């Protein structure tokens, strides 16, 4: 009868037959290679979905602020080129410059107070635009009713001035106020307030 050969034992004391089978990945990779084992290399597996994407900064407040300051400069230049002697008219015209400048400052002031200042400036500019439209329409109706055909020609010019008021004064604060009231605008200023803390 042939003698049984003794089993060879490893240095740990366990036989080769008792050792668990190695995985194909560990068998294929060399012992010192950590690239096949993300957990051993200190890497998270699987990688987080939002880890590679950094939050993008919204550039709309900067664009709106640039437009506000540009329109404020244009308003001031037009008022200086055609001054008026009536104190009420001068106050109304210079209030438009102050309102649009206030809206621009609020867009750049990244805090909750900045959002409130921007909303106040846009609302004031819209209110002034509506007031100017009402005055222009009253002037057009007066000219058309009193001066006949010549007054109707002047009234049409007044209506054209009203259309320019809508385009140059009401559109920008309307779109800007819409952005400030949306979720994106609130999140922009809320994120700035959290980072300031």
* pTM for the whole structure: 0.63
Whole-number pLDDT of residue 77: 93
* Nearest in space to 41 (alpha carbons), one of 29, 30, 51, 33: 33
pLDDT at position 153 is 84
Give the pLDDT of residue 32.
53
Distance CA 62, CA 118 (A): 12
In the chain, which stretches have pLDDT less than 70? 1-56, 191-197
Structure confidence at residue 123 (pLDDT) = 94
Phi and psi at 15, nearest 5°, equal -80, 165
Listed by start position, the domains of the chain span: 60-196
pLDDT at 151: 82
Cα atoms in the Cβ-side hemisphere of radius 13 Å centred on 138: 6
User: How many CA atoms lie within 13 Å of 122's alpha carbon, on the beta-carbon side?
Assistant: 23
For 54-107, what is each residue's pLDDT tens digit? 556 778 889 999 999 999 999 999 888 887 788 888 888 899 999 999 999 999
Give percent above pLDDT 90 in the chain: 24
Q: What is the pLDDT of residue 55?
A: 56
How high is the pLDDT of residue 187? 81
C-beta neighbour count of 79 within 10 angstroms: 16
Q: What is the pLDDT of residue 50?
A: 46
């Amino acid at each position: 009868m042939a003698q049984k050969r003794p089993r060879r034992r490893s240095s740990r004391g366990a036989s080769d037959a008792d050792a668990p089978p190695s995985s194909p990945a560990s068998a294929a990779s060399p012992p010192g290679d950590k690239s096949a084992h993300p957990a051993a290399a200190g890497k998270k597996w699987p990688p987080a979905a939002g880890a590679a994407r950094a939050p993008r900064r919204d550039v709309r407040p900067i664009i709106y602020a640039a437009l506000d300051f540009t329109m404020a400069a244009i308003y001031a230049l037009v008022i200086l080129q055609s001054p008026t002697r009536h104190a009420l008219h001068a106050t109304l015209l210079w209030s438009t410059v102050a309102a649009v400048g206030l809206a621009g400052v609020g867009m750049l002031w990244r805090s909750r107070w900045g959002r409130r200042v921007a909303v106040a400036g846009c609302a004031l500019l819209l209110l002034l635009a509506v007031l100017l439209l009402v005055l222009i329409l009253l002037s057009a109706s007066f000219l058309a009713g009193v001066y006949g055909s010549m007054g109707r020609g002047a009234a049409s010019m007044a209506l054209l001035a009203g259309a320019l008021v809508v385009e140059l004064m009401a559109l920008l604060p309307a779109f800007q106020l819409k952005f400030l009231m949306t979720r994106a605008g609130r999140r922009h200023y809320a994120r700035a307030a959290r980072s300031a803390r």
